[in-house]
Amino acid sequence: MNTSTERRIAVIGLGSMGGAMAATLHNTGWDVTGFDPSEAARTAASGTGIAITASVEDLAGTPYAVLSLPAASVVESTVPQLLASPGTVAIIDTTTSEPATSKQMAELAEAQGAAFVDAPVSGGRDGAATGTLSAFVGATDAALAAAEPVLLALTGGRYNHIGGPGSGNVVKLLNNVLAAANLVSVGEALGVAKAYGIDPATAAASISGASGGSKVSAAMYPNWVLSGTHDSGFSLGLMARDAALAVDVAARIGEHPALLAAVAGQWQEALAVLGPRADFTEIARTVAPAVTPAGAPAGAPESTNDTTAVV
């Protein structure tokens, strides 16, 4: 497998996460060239000081590459283009992708003397901008060693080597469907609290210091839901996709997690009402509209938690 001390890196996908990762790499001394099909995304990334190209083909053979893409199908079409010329050392795929795709891409890269690791990340755009993401890594030991300089730059060492190719995707999908479930359950619980005349923010803070607490109750609801800002930078469409994909991946190996499947269904219902571009925290508007400043979206069915206050 190739090794290199060159710090040339391509970042493919310059959206909220990819653009922030590209800026972080640039600020830590990497020679970054970015690509995105969106001219607006390319222009925004250029403003952070990175070089831009209008074609993925221009990036073939770059020693390192980071992918931040919307779907596994885009990963499948992008990796062969990067490997079209010799010189690739490691491709780090931060996409929340599918395990089968990652296994195929790892085999393709290895056949050409390169490394491919699935390293979907958590930590949002703030983590991407500060190099403090966490990553779920699926890779062989050799591929991990090749990709480690990039992983360290993006996470500061906050990554877990889960297992072989594809395993990072599996655990990231499970992480996301658990977060999806928690967003629903915390919303429903705060809806009940408000029906009792209790301030949802007070209830969330109290729960967050106890056994029922989580990042959702401690940060997501206070910062993005109860405030009404809904500006996490992660879309409802992507979370609905991830929840559905987690259940689908489970079904492929004969597992049928009933609670997670029910949660995935609720996200599909919210998607139908709010649309894919809504912030993912807007799920609260469908499961607990009384605790959100914007209330229920137009056309949403009446929430079972929109109860009359208990006196």
Task: Give the start-to-end residue ranges of the domains of the chain.
Answer: 8-164, 169-291
Question: Is residue 144 very low, low, confident or very high in pLDDT (cuts 50, 70, 90)?
Answer: very high
Q: 211: helix, coil or strand?
A: coil
pLDDT tens-digit series, residues 263-274: 999 999 999 999
Q: Write the DSSP symbol of residue 175.
A: H
pLDDT tens-digit series, residues 222-255: 999 999 999 998 999 999 999 999 999 999 999 9
Q: Which residues belong to the active site?
A: 172
What are the structure tokens assigned to 244, written together? 């559905």
CA distance 259 to 181: 8
CA distance 290 to 307: 9
pTM over cut 0.85: yes
- pLDDT at residue number 303: 45
Contact predicate 61/88, CB 8 Å: yes
Domains 8-164 and 169-291 are alike in CATH topology: no
Q: Class of the 8-164 domain?
A: alpha beta
- pLDDT at residue number 76: 98
Q: What are phi and psi of 205, to 5 degrees?
A: -65, -40
Say which CATH superfamily domain 169-291 falls into: N-(1-d-carboxylethyl)-l-norvaline Dehydrogenase; domain 2 (1.10.1040.10)
